[in-house]
Amino acid sequence: MAMDLTTEAEMLHKVPMFSKLELSKLKLVAFTSELCSFDRGEVLFEAGDAPDSAYVIMEGAVEILAETDAGAVVEGVLGTNELFGELGVLTSSPRSATIRAQDELVALRITDEMFLNLLAENPELALDVMRQLSDKLVRSHEQFVELQKRLQQIERAQP
């Protein structure tokens, strides 16, 4: 899929995290990033992979997969204008989940270097990323607490 820089920049402007950036900065992000197309079921990266980029979904959706004893389970779905992969870039830690295209997918791949430069040069963007990561942490903690409660119920029900 081919798009011109202005179209990519306008699409990036729709991403909440990038919405306050000037068009010139968005064009720079688009210019230094790679527009990638993925087929349904294609894996973008796997849990444990080195984090070399963050992605913005331009069209389509991805599934967040978690490995269980029974195999891969869809833990969540992200859609158009959503950012993912940023946590690994920020922490330099291996990918925590596998991400695959739910259907046909177009995503903008932003290198780790460009993403970190964007944050360093734009405090409002860095603050927004911190808020998003805080929200993810709160949701993860809530899921953990819920799973602990379920586990305790199961243990109490066993003779």
pLDDT tens, position by position, 73-99: 898 899 998 889 998 999 999 998 999
Kindly report, residue by residue over 118-127, the tens digit of the pLDDT. Answer: 999 988 888 8
Alpha-carbon torsion angle 69, 74, 75, 77, nearest 10: 170
Instruction: Using alpha carbons, list the distances in angstroms from residue 86 to 22, 25, 39, 69.
Output: 21, 18, 22, 27
Kindly report, residue by residue over 3-57, the tens digit of the pLDDT. Answer: 788 888 888 888 888 888 888 888 888 889 999 999 999 999 999 999 999 999 9
Q: What is the pTM of this model?
A: 0.81
pLDDT for 157 equals 87
pLDDT for 15 equals 84
Kindly report, residue by residue over 60-76, the tens digit of the pLDDT. Answer: 999 999 888 888 889 88
Domains of the chain: 5-122 (2.60.120.10)
pLDDT for 2 equals 60
